[in-house]
């Protein structure tokens, strides 16, 4: 099986143009395209780091966090503010009750091991606790589920507590793992299509006839958003079992996040090199996050 181009993983694991054309022609659903978002210029709102590895949004406080090569940033307002020390957070995900999990490499002045293994923060990312696999695992894909944690470090693994791990017999390398702490459904994005698990990452099936998406995120246990390598956005109302084409994000997408909006429609955030954009209509259109 193939994964998204490894050399581009630090910039969002981009597909090559040839792979993109073949994948979209073979796997895109037959639903008609929705109107695309207008052009967005955010040159004065660039991201605090050019290497973005994760995006997280708190549905209760609307805090928007960016996990990067240069550490964790609160980008809710401009300018962005640094949280805690500088570590290369290659993998980052939010669990229940404000708990964060991360992986990657220690930054300058850090006393954490290399690679970080799985680390945990209970104070919003200010400090990190070592959980497991220090010096062993650099989890580039990482998510939480109702049953625990699913992660990929060259091998797909699952853990009920972040300390003991099970090796998952799966013949694919996910670019992104997307789950929700109130569900055991997990999505893994690959160049062949979406891999889907309904048992917390123990067993997987390739979604037949679905789109090839690069980024995926759950707004709640049943609604999910996806973005294809060319920026086309998709929406699922059944936890990733079926997908509907919605709109498009202009510019290179580096990471996405989703929460359930006040009006019932999922709000979808996307990090681009020029800044954060958000959709309040389920992915049909996007605008600068500070204008939402």
* Every domain of the chain and the residues it spans: 6-291
Is residue 178 within 8 A of residue 185, CB to CB? The reply is no
What is the model's pLDDT at position 189?
A: 98
CB atoms inside a 10 Å sphere around CB 194: 27
Q: Return the pLDDT at 263.
A: 80
* CATH classification for the domain delimited by 6-291, as one of 3.40.50.150, 3.30.420.40, 3.90.1530.10, 2.130.10.10: 2.130.10.10
Residue ranges in the chain whose pLDDT is less than 50: 1-3, 5-44
pLDDT at residue 291, as a whole number: 65
Contact 260, 47 (CB under 8 A): no
Distance (Å, whole) CA 14 – CA 254: 9
- The CA-atom distances, in angstroms, between 24 and each of 173, 213, 215, 228 are 19, 9, 14, 9
At residue 118, φ and ψ (nearest 5 deg) are: -100, 125
Indicate the burial class of 146 (C-beta count within 10 angstroms; 0-12, 13-18, 19 or more). Answer: middle
- The strand pairing partners of 35, in sequence order, are none
Residue 292: per-residue pLDDT: 59
Which pLDDT score is estimated for 7?
A: 39
What's residue 77's pLDDT?
A: 86
């Amino acid at each position: 099986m193939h994964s998204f181009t490894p050399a581009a993983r630090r910039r969002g694991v981009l597909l090559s143009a040839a792979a993109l054309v073949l994948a979209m022609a073979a796997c895109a659903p037959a639903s008609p395209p929705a109107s695309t978002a207008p052009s967005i210029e955010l040159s004065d709102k660039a991201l605090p780091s050019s290497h973005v590895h994760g995006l997280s949004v708190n549905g209760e406080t609307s805090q928007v966090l960016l996990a990067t090569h240069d550490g964790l940033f609160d980008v809710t307002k401009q300018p962005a503010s640094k949280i805690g020390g500088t570590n290369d957070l290659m993998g980052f995900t939010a669990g229940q009750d404000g708990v964060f999990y991360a992986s990657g490499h220690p930054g300058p002045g850090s006393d954490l091991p290399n690679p970080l293994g799985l680390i945990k923060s209970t104070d919003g990312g200010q400090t990190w606790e070592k959980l497991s696999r220090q010096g062993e695992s650099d989890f580039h894909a990482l998510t939480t589920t109702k049953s625990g944690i699913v992660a990929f470090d060259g091998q797909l693994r699952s853990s009920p507590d972040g300390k003991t791990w099970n090796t998952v017999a799966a013949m694919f390398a996910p670019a992104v793992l997307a789950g929700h702490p109130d569900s055991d459904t997990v999505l893994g994005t690959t160049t062949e299509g979406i891999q889907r698990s309904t048992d917390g990452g123990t067993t997987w099936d390739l979604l037949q006839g679905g789109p090839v998406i690069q980024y995926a995120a759950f707004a709640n246990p049943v609604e999910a958003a996806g973005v294809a390598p060319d920026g086309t956005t998709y929406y699922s109302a059944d936890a990733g079992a079926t997908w509907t084409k919605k709109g498009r994000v202009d510019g290179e997408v580096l990471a996405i996040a989703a929460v359930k909006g006040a009006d019932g429609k999922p709000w979808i955030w996307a990090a681009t090199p020029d800044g954060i954009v958000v959709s309040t209509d389920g992915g049909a259109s996007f605008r600068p996050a500070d204008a939402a």
